[in-house]
Copies of this chain bind each other. A is one copy, B any other.
């Protein structure tokens, strides 16, 4: 059974030899640690993800980062440059294509070839492994901002080796968050092990005096995920990363839609992650937060999408997220053009800048929400520790098996898939069906009461139909889904 234990150096090195053979680009000399360390040490502070995040947190400002990645290297670089200048991005991403995410490097290679022929990207991201360190270094060298890999890769070991050796100073992902929402039948133990490797790599660089950032992927399925559930995953992945020696971690959260719940979530995410890291003895980890603009279905209309983007930015700024991942007016349609991507960025930029001196202060509503989130996270973490007999890695695997932790709408068979979320009358995400979720009666009652309130108000049963209505709601322009045929009061 998997344990939350630092991978011994010899065993890491042994695995590494295997990993680097998975695709021919793994054979590059630039992957020799001597070379990669020297290269990473040459990264200036303003291109170092970890350092820039520290500065932002101290200044109390929310920095912005888009998603972006295309099949062809030159085009990818041109895209990033555009987002840096015309988009005023603070951080750059390289969003990796889905074949690479599933380690299908041959498919990705074909995708590159076909894209060259078609003269447009047929891949939904940048196939970093295929380009190898040489290609990825070009990306890093030709931009002036910190670069991060963003993906959804259950086994990102080769990818991680390549990107860090190329000067990319952050890597998104985690053994749970890049499995449950992104895979169907890959074991959790496996993916946790894979990501322990990725973390160990970052921990190794840390030992060499190189500070890299790691970002557990917060929003999970992006669809009505209650904050306590995504927080629990984020905290566990932060702890697993810290054990491998990671010193700079950004925990994430996807906008839910209720302003107060979202700000409560942002504040508790920071507070709880710090609390648990210290509790488990990881004293020197620097924590920042990332807020994802609405991750569910978008409306087709571009102006309305811009509305959501700026509204989300208001929440991120008032909640003092350190970073925000932006969406674009093309979200509902497909991968955005560079222009659309930059529009989303600039709308976000002005809002975060306008509000940088402001923050949401406590109120009884905010305090109640924060207290609930904390109570729920504590219950979930406790359940994991309990079934893991004190070990969080083992614990989380067992907790998923038992359904003590359960993520709505996830494709993975490792996930019980029994809980159903729905919004309460003010749009806060609550739980309708608990499955085996490790909540006590008091917590459950709180959720049930809130949903009953909504049911009474809307004069209907609290049922799966509410969940469905809520899934559609935002793309139809409201937050709380209304029963079919019911009049929306809007004019």
Contact = CB atoms under 8 A, between A and B. Distances in A.
B310 A347 contact: yes
A358 B258 contact: yes
A257 B479 CA distance: 25
Given A90-B490, A259-B358, A307 B313 contact: yes
Interface string A297-312: 0010111101111110
Contacts of A94: none
A307 B478 contact: no
A324 B425 CA distance: 24
Contacts of A303: 306, 342-347
Contacts of A301: 346, 350
Interface string A190-219: 000000000000000000000000000000
B489 A347 contact: no
Contact of A477 (B90, B354, B491): B354
Contact of A349 (B90, B307, B310, B344): B307
Contact of A348 (B307, B350, B365): B307
Contact of A358 (B313, B353, B426): B426
Interface in A29-62: 52, 55, 59, 61
Contacts of A425: 357
Nearest to A257: B354
A238 interface: no
Interface in A355-403: 355-358, 361-366
A307 B426 contact: no
A477 B363 contact: no
Nearest to A425: B357
Size class of A's contact patch? 35 or more
Given A303-B342, A313-B307, A347-B307, A357 B318 contact: no
Number of copies: 2
Contact of A318 (B88, B259, B347, B362): B259
A69 B479 CA distance: 33
Contacts of A477: 349-350, 353-354
B310 A354 contact: no
A234 interface: no
B350 A299 contact: yes
A309 B308 contact: no
A260 interface: yes
A266 interface: no
Q: Pick from A303, A362, A364 the residue with the most CB of B within 10 Å.
A: A303
A90 B491 contact: yes
Contacts of A427: 354, 357-358
A41 to B, nearest CB: 23
A336 to B, nearest CB: 13
Contact of A306 (B88, B315, B347, B480): B347
A348 B488 CA distance: 17
Nearest to A354: B479
A90 B478 CA distance: 16
A63 interface: yes
A232 to B, nearest CB: 26
A405 interface: no
A335 interface: no
Given A361-B365, A363-B363, 15 more contacts: A55-B489, A259-B318, A259-B355, A303-B343, A304-B349, A306-B347, A308-B350, A310-B314, A311-B311, A311-B313, A353-B479, A354-B474, A357-B479, A358-B426, A358-B427
Closest 6 CB pairs of A and B: A310-B310, A307-B347, A363-B363, A303-B346, A303-B343, A304-B350
8 contacts: A90-B490, A307-B309, A310-B314, A310-B351, A311-B350, A349-B490, A357-B425, A361-B363
